[in-house]
A and B are shown apart, each in its own frame.
Chain A
Amino acid sequence: MIHSRSRHSLGRRKVKEGIFRVLMAVSMLIVVGCLVLIIGTIVWKGLPAMNLSMITQTPKGGYYLGREGGILNAIIGSLYLASGATVLAILFSLPVVLYINVYAKRNSRLASLTRFSLDVLWGIPSIVYGAFGFIIMIFFGLRSSLLAGILAVGLLEFPIMSRAADEVIRLVPRELLEASYSLGATRLETALKVVIRQCLPGLLTAVLIAFGRGIGDAASVLFTAGFTDRIPTSLLQPAATLPLAIFFQLGTPFPEVQQRAYASAVILTVLILVISLLARGLGKRYTRHIIK
């Protein structure tokens, strides 16, 4: 009796296992499928419009009507903007993350309040950062400029980078910190010489995630960085960005310009890919010392 019941339950367990396997397979398929579909679409639609002048020229007169030119202004603008914003975000998020992990005690109120604030900031839509940046700009009498864009995007990147870095640094074993303290190191020395080294690959990922969000965001730069056909030569000039270039090109009624929007999307995607690969390649050099 007992024997047959257990056999029955084993059968049910196998069925459950099977159902879950199918579920996992379907989810994986959907995720990978979406990625393939998105990349496929932009490549399919964008490739015919792709040519060298896209990435070597700025828009000439009538570019948005389908005439000559390229989007070099937006490529350079986006790189300037996202790099500046990422540097800015690193400058603020690294101290915050080191504070809540190395300086504050494990269950300190301030640390959990900081984490909560970062989570809330993370959830704020980027258009709000754009609007917020815009209000600040008006307050200081600043016009749309690269600088204003960097500030807004930096603000957008900050919580993303901080939370991602936080999750990595949290995993540093307490004993590793103790080892450094017991040698007479201060918390700062421990943070800079031990924690950052130990977490370098994870920190790099955090920076890259934030950079990816920053370079791909359209709403936060809409009011703050503005848009221009020229390549900015100072922080106070407006700057074009790829997401807005895509937006404006898609918004035209001309199919050939819309195609260029897809080509711009390809450029943006490839740009992020190349930068990720480069950063990872560089980061690999510094991972050999990590304690597992």
Chain B
Amino acid sequence: METRTHISVQNLSVYFDELRVLKDVSIDIPDHKITVIIGPSGCGKTTLLKSLNRLLDPLDGVRVGGRVLVDGIDIYDPRTEVTEIRKKMGLLSQRPQALPMSIYDNVAYGPRIHNHIDKKRLGEIVEHYLRMAGLWEEVKDRLDEPASRLSVGQQQRLCLARGLAVGPEIILGDEPTSALDPQSSQNVERRLIELKEQYTVIVVTHILRQAKRIADYIAFLYLGELVEHGPAAEVFANPQNPRTRAYLTGEIS
């Protein structure tokens, strides 16, 4: 199997005050695949995801041990510029968080911060990524409207477009469909599958059926431990660890 990887997690431990939320997690995330992190709620899935772009930083009492290498750079090295790390990753959160501005400005937010782009070029960028997120046809006539007027499902695709517009290599999804109706969920899932051609995708979910639909690679977390990881087909067909088997059959949840 190919070993190229953007993200290499090495002996990562995360503590919230005294509580150890992640225990010695090591995993290489395969490029251009959808890696799905599964596990019961409270097992550290979201913490693992947020540790990848240092979104744990603003939280109180968080300590991180071990290393996370992104393109060979240790992101917890004090010399690493955090905005550069985050630029490499687009994030979809549990509830879409549109920024308090127009649809257009939401997508233009990242490009405006990171590069000085002339107006015409910016318009092209906005259109390009809205198309990529499958939202363009629905919003092309009302780009000046507040983003908050979109439906939740549309907002999640707007967040996707906004994240892609920064030019990342990686897409992180923290239960990105949990607030959406079935149809919008399907829409987002379809986008993610399309996007793995160009991006490395990491998604956290507690919905096993979703994991089966989209995953190429599975990581199973249980009580902060990475119990098992491997190609999705293998893990689902023939889990090696009894705890994985128990989770997949619904004995633990």
A residues in contact (CB < 8 Å) with B: 105-107, 173-186, 189, 193-194, 197-198, 288-292
B89 touches A182 (CB 8 A): yes
The answer to whether residues A107 and B60 also contact, given A193-B109, A197-B100, A291-B100 and a CB cut-off of 8 A, is yes
The answer to whether residues A179 and B83 also contact, given A184-B110, A193-B109, A291-B99 and a CB cut-off of 8 A, is no
A292 touches B166 (CB 8 A): no
**Residue numbers in A under 8 Å from B87 (CB-CB):** 183-184
A175 touches B95 (CB 8 A): yes
The answer to whether residues A106 and B60 also contact, given A185-B83, A186-B83, A292-B148 and a CB cut-off of 8 A, is yes
Specify which of B53, B84, B114, B147 is in contact with A289 (CB 8 Å cutoff). B147
Q: Is B93 an interface residue when CB atoms closer than 8 A count as contact? A: yes
A-B contact pairs, 23 of them (CB 8 A): A105-B58, A107-B60, A178-B91, A179-B91, A179-B99, A180-B109, A181-B55, A182-B86, A183-B87, A183-B110, A183-B162, A184-B166, A185-B113, A189-B113, A193-B101, A193-B109, A194-B99, A288-B146, A289-B100, A289-B101, A291-B99, A291-B100, A291-B147
**Residue numbers in A under 8 Å from B159 (CB-CB):** 179
Residues from 13 to 64 in B contacting A, C-beta threshold 8 Å: 53, 55, 58-60
CB distance from A285 to the nearest CB of B (A): 12
CB distance from A185 to the nearest CB of B (A): 6
CB distance from B193 to the nearest CB of A (A): 22
Number of A-B contacts (CB under 8 A): 85
**In the bound complex, CA of A105 to CA of B60 (Å):** 6
CB distance from A292 to the nearest CB of B (A): 6
Residues from 141 to 170 in B contacting A, C-beta threshold 8 Å: 146-148, 159, 162-163, 166
**In the bound complex, CA of A189 to CA of B166 (Å):** 15
B residues in contact (CB < 8 Å) with A: 53, 55, 58-60, 83-84, 86-87, 89-91, 93, 95, 97-102, 109-110, 113-114, 146-148, 159, 162-163, 166, 172
A178 touches B55 (CB 8 A): yes
CB distance from A278 to the nearest CB of B (A): 23
CB distance from B157 to the nearest CB of A (A): 14
Specify which of B53, B60, B97, B148 is in contact with A175 (CB 8 Å cutoff). B97
B60 touches A176 (CB 8 A): no
With A182-B89, A289-B148, A291-B99 known, 16 other A-B pairs at CB within 8 A are A173-B97, A176-B99, A178-B58, A178-B91, A179-B97, A181-B58, A183-B110, A183-B162, A184-B84, A184-B113, A184-B166, A193-B99, A194-B99, A197-B100, A290-B146, A291-B100
**Residue numbers in B under 8 Å from A178 (CB-CB):** 55, 58, 91, 93, 97
A177 touches B58 (CB 8 A): yes
**Residue numbers in B under 8 Å from A197 (CB-CB):** 100-101
B83 touches A291 (CB 8 A): no
**In the bound complex, CA of A52 to CA of B81 (Å):** 64
Closest to B149 in A: A288
**Residue numbers in B under 8 Å from A183 (CB-CB):** 86-87, 90, 109-110, 113, 162-163, 166
**Residue numbers in B under 8 Å from A177 (CB-CB):** 58
**Residue numbers in A under 8 Å from B97 (CB-CB):** 173, 175-176, 178-179, 291
**Residue numbers in A under 8 Å from B113 (CB-CB):** 183-185, 189
**In the bound complex, CA of A63 to CA of B42 (Å):** 76
Closest to A182 in B: B91
**In the bound complex, CA of A290 to CA of B93 (Å):** 19
**Residue numbers in B under 8 Å from A182 (CB-CB):** 53, 55, 86, 89-91, 163, 172
**In the bound complex, CA of A239 to CA of B98 (Å):** 48
**Residue numbers in A under 8 Å from B163 (CB-CB):** 182-183
CB distance from A282 to the nearest CB of B (A): 17
Q: Give 6 nearest A-B pairs by CB, closest first.
A: A182-B91, A184-B87, A179-B97, A198-B100, A183-B110, A289-B146
Closest to B84 in A: A184
**Residue numbers in B under 8 Å from A198 (CB-CB):** 100
CB distance from A196 to the nearest CB of B (A): 9
CB distance from B59 to the nearest CB of A (A): 8
CB distance from B155 to the nearest CB of A (A): 9
**Residue numbers in A under 8 Å from B101 (CB-CB):** 193, 197, 289
Closest to A189 in B: B113
CB distance from B149 to the nearest CB of A (A): 9
**In the bound complex, CA of A197 to CA of B102 (Å):** 12
B148 touches A291 (CB 8 A): yes
A290 touches B148 (CB 8 A): yes
Closest to A290 in B: B100
**In the bound complex, CA of A135 to CA of B228 (Å):** 72
A291 touches B60 (CB 8 A): no
Closest to B97 in A: A179
CB distance from A213 to the nearest CB of B (A): 28
**In the bound complex, CA of A210 to CA of B128 (Å):** 46
